[in-house]
């Protein structure tokens, strides 16, 4: 099967901090780090690359036109609960904590987190 998304490039301000945050999150979702580069690969071949570019200007703002958030998957609710417990220790702030795990609706099981630079990630069980 052809993967739906080939890759995603993330432009970040603080590469070292972002590597720690995103590296933990992606590994928890089953992605593996590629040796020698700031890239993580999903078992289906999709990859995420991270860099700071001199062409960047302004801060990331998910509320402006562009991508609002990234949604990743985990296989089980146990994995999601573990991520929720560990997220703050890796630089992620939980969003909608009062409605966990159904902030997206009663039939939708997910964790919503925000990185130190304001990137929102939704981690969904299944699908």
Q: Which tens digits make up the pLDDT trace of 36-63?
A: 889 999 999 999 999 988 888 877 787 7
Q: What percent of the chain has pLDDT over 70?
A: 98
Confidence (pLDDT) at 73: 95
Dihedral angle, C-alpha 77, 80, 85, 91, nearest 10 °: 180
Q: Domain limits of the chain? A: 7-53+63-125
Q: Which tens digits make up the pLDDT trace of 11-20?
A: 999 999 999 9
Task: Kindly report the number of other CB atoms within 10 A of residue 125's CB atom.
Answer: 18
CATH number for the domain running over 7-53+63-125: 3.10.180.10
On the question of pLDDT at 127 being above 70, the answer is no
């Amino acid at each position: 099967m052809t993967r739906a998304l080939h890759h995603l490039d993330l432009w970040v301000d603080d590469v070292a901090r972002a590597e720690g945050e995103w590296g933990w999150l992606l590994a928890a979702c089953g992605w593996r780090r590629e040796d020698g580069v700031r890239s993580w690969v999903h078992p289906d071949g999709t990859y995420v690359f991270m860099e700071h570019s001199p062409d960047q200007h302004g801060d990331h703002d998910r509320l402006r036109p562009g991508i609002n958030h990234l949604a990743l998957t985990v296989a089980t609710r146990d994995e999601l609960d573990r991520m929720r417990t560990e997220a703050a220790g890796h630089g992620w702030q939980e969003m909608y904590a009062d409605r966990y795990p159904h902030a997206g609706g009663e039939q939708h099981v997910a964790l919503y987190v925000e990185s130190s630079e304001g990137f929102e990630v939704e981690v969904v069980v299944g699908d």
